[in-house]
Amino acid sequence: MSYRIQSTPRKDGFRMPGEFEPHAGTWMLWPERPDNWRNGAKPAQKAFVAVATAISQFEAVTMGVSQSQFNNARQMLPGEVRVVEIANNDSWMRDCGPTFVVNGTSARVVDWDFNAWGGLLGGLYFPWDLDDVVARKVAEVERVDSYKAPLVLEGGSIHVDGEGTLMTTRECLLNENRNPDKNQKEIEDLLADYLNIKKFIWLNHGVYNDETNGHVDNICCFIRPGVVALTWTDDKSDPQYEISQENYEILQSITDARGRKLEIHKIHQPNPVLITEEESRGVDAVDGTLPREAGDRMAASYINFYLCNGGAIVPTFDDEHDKPALQALQALLPERKVVGVPAREILLGGGNIHCITQQQPKP
Ligand code: KQY
């Protein structure tokens, strides 16, 4: 049984935990659409297998997959990854999947509205109806009750510290293509009710050229309460420089829900990662989806990593900055094993490891 609850998590004493808190497992969705993933999604499927395999060293992984891809996914994934049929429009479990809240003894799901990162005002595909029911299906599979939140929101557009602080970007949450009828205060009130938030950290912009309208999970994240990692560049001529510098100043000037000043760690971005001719040619052209043009710069960032029980799964780009980023994150996360996974094929689809994973916390 999985019931819709006509209340809010805050009233019921539930809160969204930080990603660094213990997990019951990880949810993912299998990639297949050829107008987003090159070469019929075969290279992306291998990259998703590598991510699922890396996470499953640390915790249980469930892969949602369409009916037509079930046999292929089952055959490609290691036996310890559970494969369940979940119809979907694309494979971004972070964004269309559930946000879990906990109260110490049980977990529940917050089910947001999903409009494919902007609906008819610059959204990334149409339709998105299958994605919009993924969160509810996960709740059913897990027999977890759910709340329907009256807000268009993707999981990658928020990060929480589990102690009442939420970090996001204005570029995304206040974009007219998400909730045009709501102002900042109304959005904060809903996030306070549905995630039990007391303090909001508003960054202005996300990573340069990020097709999600600046998801926070690509630019800044909580390592633990009071400690954040921010994507960075020392190159003042790079368009990312001003964005990161401005975010650094915002982060320096605020306190979190517990009144702490934040400890901020800069993680240098990779050199610009551009789509090649061959990669561009491998993507099916379809009206209404984003063109993948050769030479376009992708929003590559090491911050799009995923924390799991005892591990951190970090994207790598075959770049000179990979090693320093992995070392810096290992130093920040001494209690975890940092595992780098080549992620160019995921980046080519418009996101990265954090965007394709969703944690199910332990109650
Ligand atoms: O969270 C993300 N970065 C998802 C990006 C979706 C891209 C769809 N083409």
Q: What is the pLDDT of residues 153-198, one digit of tens each?
A: 999 999 999 999 999 999 999 999 999 999 999 999 999 999 999 9
Q: How many residues does the chain have?
A: 363
What is the chain's mean pLDDT, rounded?
97
Q: Distance (Å, rounded) from C-alpha 69 to C-alpha 76?
A: 11
Within a 13 Å sphere around the CA of 82, how many CA atoms are in the beta-carbon half?
13
Per the structure block, which two tokens stand in for 31? 């990639």
Atom of ligand 1 nearest to the CA of 90: 8
**Cβ-based neighbour number of residue 249 at 10 Å:** 10
Per the structure block, which two tokens stand in for 112? 């947001």
Q: Distance (Å, rounded) from C-alpha 359 to C-alpha 29?
A: 13
Instruction: For residue 312, give the nearest of 26, 16, 17 by alpha carbon.
Output: 26
Q: Distance (Å, rounded) from C-alpha 114 to C-alpha 151?
A: 8
Q: Distance (Å, rounded) from C-alpha 225 to C-alpha 229?
A: 11
SS3 314: strand
pLDDT band at residue 315 under the 50/70/90 scheme: very high
State if residue 348 touches ligand 1 by the CB under 6 angstroms criterion: no
Maximum pairwise Cα distance, the chain: 55
Predicted pLDDT of residue 291: 79
Per the structure block, which two tokens stand in for 197? 């938030």
Q: Distance (Å, rounded) from C-alpha 315 to C-alpha 306?
A: 9
Alpha-carbon separation of residue 52 from 59, 172, 273, 298, 302 (angstroms): 10, 28, 24, 23, 18
Q: Sheet of 227-232: strands edge to edge?
A: 220-224, 227-232, 263-268
Per the structure block, which two tokens stand in for 14? 């539930």
Q: Please state the three-class secondary structure of 182-250 as a single string.
A: CCHHHHHHHHHHHHCCCEEEEECCCCCCCCCCCCHHHCEEEEECCEEEEEECCCCCCHHHHHHHHHHHH
**pLDDT tens, residue by residue, 9-27:** 999 999 999 999 999 999 9
State if residue 214 touches ligand 1 by the CB under 6 angstroms criterion: no
CA of 289 to the centre of ligand 1 (A): 12
pLDDT band at residue 93 under the 50/70/90 scheme: very high
Predicted pLDDT of residue 32: 98
Q: Give yes or no for residue 50 having a pLDDT over 90.
A: yes
Q: How far apart are the first and last CA of the chain?
A: 18
Atom of ligand 1 nearest to the CA of 154: 1
pLDDT band at residue 214 under the 50/70/90 scheme: very high
Protein residue with its CA nearest to atom 8 in ligand 1: 350
**pLDDT tens, residue by residue, 117-140:** 999 998 999 999 999 999 999 999
Q: Distance (Å, rounded) from C-alpha 311 to C-alpha 222?
A: 15
Protein residue with its CA nearest to atom 3 in ligand 1: 351
Atom of ligand 1 nearest to the CA of 218: 3
Predicted pLDDT of residue 53: 98
pLDDT band at residue 327 under the 50/70/90 scheme: very high
Predicted pLDDT of residue 307: 98
Q: If residue 151 lies in a helix (H) or strand (E), which one and from where to where?
A: strand 146-152
Protein residue with its CA nearest to atom 2 in ligand 1: 351
Q: Give yes or no for residue 207 having a pLDDT over 80.
A: yes
DSSP state of 302: T
State if residue 36 touches ligand 1 by the CB under 6 angstroms criterion: yes
Sign of CA dihedral 123, 127, 133, 135: negative
State if residue 161 touches ligand 1 by the CB under 6 angstroms criterion: no
Q: Give yes or no for residue 287 having a pLDDT over 80.
A: no
**pLDDT tens, residue by residue, 219-240:** 999 999 999 999 999 999 999 9
**pLDDT tens, residue by residue, 142-156:** 999 999 999 999 999
Q: Which residue among 134, 212, 275 is best mutated to probe the pocket of ligand 1, counting the most ligand atoms within 8 A of its Cβ?
A: 212
Can you name the residues that pair with 62 across neighbouring β-strands? 27, 82
CA of 115 to the centre of ligand 1 (A): 12
Atom of ligand 1 nearest to the CA of 352: 3
pLDDT band at residue 38 under the 50/70/90 scheme: very high
Q: Give yes or no for residue 257 having a pLDDT over 90.
A: yes
CA of 38 to the centre of ligand 1 (A): 15
Protein residue with its CA nearest to atom 4 in ligand 1: 351
Q: What is the dihedral of CA 252, 297, 319, 55, to 10 degrees?
A: 80
Per the structure block, which two tokens stand in for 89? 């429009």
State if residue 33 touches ligand 1 by the CB under 6 angstroms criterion: no
Average pLDDT value for residue range 257-274 = 98
355 in catalytic set: yes
Protein residue with its CA nearest to atom 1 in ligand 1: 355
Q: Distance (Å, rounded) from C-alpha 231 to C-alpha 317?
A: 15
Assess contact for 93 and 156: CB atoms under 8 A. no
Q: Sheet of 99-102: strands edge to edge?
A: 99-102, 107-113, 146-152
Q: Which residue has the tokens 């090693």?
A: 323
Which is it for strands 337-342 and 220-224: parallel, antiparallel or unpaired? unpaired
Q: Give yes or no for residue 104 having a pLDDT over 80.
A: yes
Average pLDDT value for residue range 91-104 = 97
Q: Distance (Å, rounded) from C-alpha 103 to C-alpha 265?
A: 30
Average pLDDT value for residue range 198-215 = 98
Predicted pLDDT of residue 290: 75
